[in-house]
Amino acid sequence: MNQETKNHYLKHIDHLAPDLETDNKPPDTKRKIPAWLDFLIVLILAALVTVFISAFVIRTYQVDGPSMETTLQNYDKLLIWKVPVTWSHITNHQYVPKRGDVIVFTQSGLSEYGQKDSKQLIKRVIGLPGERVVVQNGQYRVFNKQHPEGFNPDKTLPYGGNNGSNIPSTSGNLDVNLDSKEIFVSGDNRPESLDSRTFGPVQTDKIVGKLIIRFMPVNKAKVF
């Protein structure tokens, strides 16, 4: 076989080589994930994200009862901000709300008042850790280092309206000193509220979160 013929055959072999390699490749054995399994994974991840957000970031609540009228009405739907409380648990420090904040907290020992023994309540913060709270003559009076003579938060904070006109008379006769991990809470509808006047101060580690938005009914939506 002369050189010219050899070159002719080699040329054709080179052209055929890639096709031969392709034909000899093993079949693709990689299994595809079924569409239903993809959907299930997405559904599970979405559920986990929802649970995480509800447990640690923000959660919806519905008002049950008249204790916060007229600020909140029965069946109002609320958003409760939980991040500060979550962060306090992570960093192992105490979360203390501001006076006047409306908070959700877990309270136990309520069976003696005709309630479920332990439930989450929504009330307004009146007294802060280390303060003295007095109920007398139909009103609150709070004593601390800045106000040794005492003051009435219903008359000095915006929620109370003009000189406390938004808040009804506060029944009871009470004098309590809060320790370093206690707050005093009260409903705005004082005659109809089960609060610290009855079950005592609330431990700060029982706070769930702070009210930030009422989103239903829509015509009464409000940022707090």
Question: Is the pLDDT at 14 greater than 70, yes or no?
Answer: no
* Choice among 39-53, 147-161, 203-217 with the minimum mean pLDDT: 39-53
Kindly report the pTM of this predicted structure. Answer: 0.81
- Per DSSP, 14 falls in state H
* Choice among 42-56, 94-108, 142-156 with the minimum mean pLDDT: 42-56
Per-residue pLDDT, averaged over 174-199, amounts to 97
Residue 10 confidence (pLDDT): 44
Strand ranges inside 42-115, DSSP E:
58-62, 77-81, 102-107
- Per DSSP, 151 falls in state B
**Percent over 90 (pLDDT), the chain:** 73
Per CATH, the homologous superfamily of domain 83-209 is Umud Fragment, subunit A (2.10.109.10)
Q: From CA 138, how far away is CA 80, in angstroms rounded?
A: 30
Instruction: Return the higher-pLDDT residue of 114 and 219.
Output: 219
19-29 residue pLDDT tens: 444 455 555 55
Per-residue pLDDT, averaged over 144-159, amounts to 96
Instruction: Return the higher-pLDDT residue of 7 and 200.
Output: 200
Question: Is the pLDDT at 105 greater than 70, yes or no?
Answer: yes
53-94 residue pLDDT tens: 988 999 999 999 999 999 999 999 999 999 999 999 999 999
162-172 residue pLDDT tens: 999 999 999 99
**Percent over 70 (pLDDT), the chain:** 86
**What does the chain come to in residues?**
224
| Mean pLDDT of all residues belonging to the chain | 88
Query: In angstroms, how far apart are the furthest CA atoms of the chain?
Result: 125
Give me Rg for the CA atoms of the chain: 33
Per-residue pLDDT, averaged over 96-105, amounts to 98
Tell me the two tokens of residue 125: 């913060």
Helices (H) and strands (E) in the chain, counts: 5, 11
CB atoms within 10 A of CB 150: 14
Q: From CA 18, how far away is CA 53, in angstroms rounded?
A: 55
Give the closest residue to 106 by CA, choosing from 157, 49, 152, 59: 59
